Amino acid sequence: MRLQKLISLMKERGFDGALISPGTNLYYLTGLRIHEAGERLTVLVVSADGDYRLLAPSLYETVVRNFPVTFWRDGENPYDKLAWILAELHLSKGRLLIEDTMRADWLIGVIRLGPFEFHPLSSVIRELRMRKDRHEIEMMGHAAKAADRVFDEILSWDLLGMRERELALKIELAVRELSDGISFEPIVASGENGANPHHEPGNRRLRKGDMVILDYGARWKGYCSDITRTIALGRPSERLVEIYEAVREAQENAYRAVREGTKAKEVDRTARETIARAGYGEYFTHRTGHGLGLDVHEEPYIGPDGETILENGMTFTIEPGIYVSGLGGVRIEDDVVVLDGKGKRLTRAERELIRL
C-alpha cells in the first residue's frame, strides 16, 4: 500500500508526520478523488507511527468511503478539528512533511497550531512517484495512444487559414472525445510564434510556408500524456527544414541514450550536443524533458543538472527544440518509459517531417 510505503520512508528519515492537501499526491496515496474545495480546509494527516486521518468538509460525505475521516460543516472552525486530530496522532509538534502546493491561508492556519519544523513532501514522495508500477505504465500507455490518434486526426483537417486558437480548441475537443480530458491547454504555435516554447494560441491564421508546433496531451485515469509534433504547411524555408532535421536527430539520439543506470543529465547532454553540432546550440533554450505521470511536469527532470539515475519504471518526455526569434521554431516530443533497461516510446506518431 502506497501510504504504508510513505510511512516507512518518513520513519527512516526522522519525520514525525505529514500534512497533505488535495492534489495528485493525495490521489496517489489514497485513490480518493477530492478536488481542492476552494477555501474549505481539507487535509490528510499521516503519522510516522502508522496512523492517518482525513479532515474534510461535509460536502465530501458521499465521496469518502472506507477511509478514516473527520468531517466539518460550514460554520464550524476546521482548525479546531485539525488541532484535535493532531493531538490524537501525537503530532502537536515535530518535523512534518507538508504538501508543496498547500494554500498559503491553510499553511498559516497550520503554523499557528504548534511548533513545527516543515519540509516539502516532494523531498520524500518523489522517490515513490518517480518509479511507476505496471498499472501506472498501462494507464500512461492509454493516454499516449489517445494523443497519437488525435495527431492522425489533425492531419485530416483543412488547416490552411485556420486561426491558432480554433485549432487549439479542435485539438482539445478531439482529445476529450478519446480520453478522460486534456492534461494541459494545447499549444499551437505557427510561423514566427513558434519561437516561443510556451506560446499561447492566438488569432494568427495558419499559412503556406509555416512550421506549426502542436503540443498537447490527454489524461487517462489521472495519468498524463504530452506530445509535440511540428508539421509544415506548403514549403517552409530551407533553414526551417534544416532546423527540423537537427531536432529530429537530437530527439532520436537522446531517446537512444536512455538506459537504466544512466544519469538524466547524460540524456540531456546527448540532445544538446546533437543540436550544437548542427550549429543551433544557443537556440535550444530549455531542458530536454520532464517526468510525466499524475502531473504533467514531475520528477525526473531531464536537464543539464539532472542527477537522477534512470531506473526501470521511470517515465518522462524527450522534447528538444530550436527557437529562432523572428523565424519560428521546431519541437518534437515523445513520452518514454524505461523498461528492461532501455527506453521505450509510449507516443509513436510519425516523426519524419510531414508537409501538408
In the complex, the smallest distance separating the C-beta of residue 271 from ligand LM6UYM6L, rounded to whole angstroms, is: 12
Alpha-carbon span 19 to 71, nearest angstrom? 16
Using the structure block, give the residue that is written with the C-alpha cell 524533458.
289
In the complex, the smallest distance separating the C-beta of residue 185 from ligand LM6UYM6L, rounded to whole angstroms, is: 7
Contact region with ligand LM6UYM6L (CB under 6 A), list: 47-55, 107-115, 154-162, 286-294? 286-294
Cell triple for residue 213? 508546433
Q: What string marks each residue from 335 to 354 as x (binds ligand LM6UYM6L by CB under 6 A) or -?
A: --------------------
Is the CB of 2 or the CB of 286 nearer to ligand LM6UYM6L? 286
Told to check if 226 binds ligand LM6UYM6L by CB under 6 A, we report: yes
Using the structure block, give the residue that is written with the C-alpha cell 519561437.
195
In the complex, the smallest distance separating the C-beta of residue 327 from ligand LM6UYM6L, rounded to whole angstroms, is: 17
In the complex, the smallest distance separating the C-beta of residue 255 from ligand LM6UYM6L, rounded to whole angstroms, is: 16
Alpha-carbon span 195 to 53, nearest angstrom? 48
Instruction: Supply the DSSP string of 257-308, one letter for each residue.
Output: T-BTT-BHHHHHHHHHHHHHHTT-GGG--S-SEEE-SSSSSEEEEESTT--P
Q: Which of 159, 296, 310, 353 binds ligand LM6UYM6L (CB under 6 A)?
A: 296
Alpha-carbon span 273 to 131, nearest angstrom? 28
Q: What string marks each residue from 173 to 202 as x (binds ligand LM6UYM6L by CB under 6 A) or -?
A: -----------x------------xx----
Q: Which of 136, 215, 252, 268 binds ligand LM6UYM6L (CB under 6 A)?
A: 215
Told to check if 272 binds ligand LM6UYM6L by CB under 6 A, we report: no
First to last CA, the chain: 50
Residue 74 class from Cβ within 10 Å (0-12 exposed, 13-18 middle, 19+ buried)? exposed
Is the CB of 92 or the CB of 196 nearer to ligand LM6UYM6L? 196
Told to check if 268 binds ligand LM6UYM6L by CB under 6 A, we report: no
User: For residues 176 and 156, is the Cβ–Cβ distance under 8 A?
Assistant: no
Cell triple for residue 168? 487549439
Side-chain-side CA neighbours of 37 within 13 Å: the count stands at 16
Phi, psi of 18 (to 5 degrees): -145, 145
User: For residues 338 and 310, is the Cβ–Cβ distance under 8 A?
Assistant: yes
Told to check if 290 binds ligand LM6UYM6L by CB under 6 A, we report: yes
CB atoms within 10 A of CB 104: 7
Q: What string marks each residue from 302 to 321 as x (binds ligand LM6UYM6L by CB under 6 A) or -?
A: -----------------x--
Is the CB of 170 or the CB of 331 nearer to ligand LM6UYM6L? 331
Number of residues binding to ligand LM6UYM6L, judged by CB under 6 A: 12
CA distances from 202 to 187, 214, 305 (A): 10, 13, 34
In the complex, the smallest distance separating the C-beta of residue 335 from ligand LM6UYM6L, rounded to whole angstroms, is: 10
In the complex, the smallest distance separating the C-beta of residue 10 from ligand LM6UYM6L, rounded to whole angstroms, is: 30
Using the structure block, give the residue that is written with the C-alpha cell 478522460.
180
Contact region with ligand LM6UYM6L (CB under 6 A), list: 80-88, 247-255, 285-293, 348-356? 285-293
Alpha-carbon span 335 to 316, nearest angstrom? 6
Told to check if 101 binds ligand LM6UYM6L by CB under 6 A, we report: no
Residue 253 class from Cβ within 10 Å (0-12 exposed, 13-18 middle, 19+ buried)? middle
Using the structure block, give the residue that is written with the C-alpha cell 485556420.
162
Interface with ligand LM6UYM6L (CB under 6 A): 184, 197-198, 215, 226, 228, 286-287, 290, 296, 319, 333
